[in-house]
Amino acid sequence: GDSVTQMEGPVTLSEEAFLTINCTYTATGYPSLFWYVQYPGEGLQLLLKATKADDKGSNKGFEATYRKETTSFHLEKGSVQVSDSAVYFCARYQIQGAQKLVFGQGTRLTINP
Amino acid sequence: DTGVSQDPRHKITKRGQNVTFRCDPISEHNRLYWYRQTLGQGPEFLTYFQNEAQLEKSRLLSDRFSAERPKGSFSTLEIQRTEQGDSAMYLCASSRGSVGKNTEAFFGQGTRLTVV
């Protein structure tokens, strides 16, 4: 079935380091793609999204580009901060067929000062 | 817009007992979703409603699970004869129509269930 695969965590970086969290998906058709973030003690929040191939989603310094040829939606940030410490989830949503968000397993990110 | 609220936030129950969770979506959101999240995993889809109609159920939703959304507003998720494997965070989300370019799903903070 349709799925989303994220790079395994946890990921620990120093402040101001470059971040990449890999995400690939299997799909029939052209799903919308999302990154959600879950800060400690809080609910899931939408970080960014892209709804068609070559779209780039961006928010709070994070970016991800919808790559249809590699079925990927990797999350990047040029300079991470301690406040970025959270769990990040990649997800897909497809209008045709089963209309639901399908999530990856999550990547826990810890940023040390 | 007060966001998606879930009640209770935490529930501890003995194995074999029944539990019921409530979700209040953002007003005027016609879609409501239930997910389950276990430790170290991403949320797994359980079921969703469009207005009061339950349109899809996951295979994860055994016959011990039932969800309702009377009148298309709040929703309840009931688990009968709880088992230790039911221990998880139960998440509710709502959206105005299909999630996509102009619509996002908003999540509640979840109900953490512990079955002892």
Q: A31 vs A44, A93, A99, B77, CA distance in Å?
A: 20, 5, 10, 28
Using beta carbons and an 8 Å cutoff, which residues of B are at the interface with A? 4, 33, 35, 40-45, 48, 55-56, 91, 93, 98-101, 104-110
* Angle (nearest 5°) at CA B15 between B63 and B80: 25
Overall average pLDDT of the B76-95 stretch: 96
Q: Would you state the pLDDT for residue A97?
A: 66
Residues B87-110: pLDDT tens digits?
A: 999 999 999 988 877 788 999 999
Q: Would you state the pLDDT for residue A98?
A: 67
Location of structure tokens 């996951």: B58
Q: What CA–CA distance (Å, rounded) separates A89 from A9?
A: 11
Please state, for a pLDDT cut of 70, what percent of chain A lies above it.
96
Overall average pLDDT of the A9-20 stretch: 95
CA of A84, closest CA in chain B: separation in Å?
A: 18
Task: Judge contact between A11 and A108, C-beta under 8 A.
Answer: yes
- Name residues 84-113 of chain A within 8 A of B (Cβ): 89, 91, 93, 95, 98-106
Quick one: tokens of B90? 């139960």
Q: What CA–CA distance (Å, rounded) separates A51 from B54?
A: 26
Contact (CB<8Å) B45/A93: no
Q: What CA–CA distance (Å, rounded) separates B31 from B55?
A: 10
Q: What CA–CA distance (Å, rounded) separates B62 from B109?
A: 24
Which residue from A4, A45, A101 is facing B99, i.e. has the nearest CB? Answer: A101
Task: Judge contact between B36 and B79, C-beta under 8 A.
Answer: no
For A19-63, what is the HEC assignment? EEECEEECCCCCCEEEEEEECCCCCCEEEEEECCCCCEEEECCEE
Residues A33-57: pLDDT tens digits?
A: 999 999 988 889 999 999 999 999 9
Overall average pLDDT of the A93-99 stretch: 73
Calculate the dihedral angle through the C-alpha atoms of A98, A104, A106, A107, rounding to the nearest 10 degrees: -150
Quick one: tokens of B52? 């009061």
Q: What CA–CA distance (Å, rounded) separates A106 from A109?
A: 10
Short-list B94, B95, B97, B91, CA closest to B111 = B91
Contact (CB<8Å) B42/A4: yes
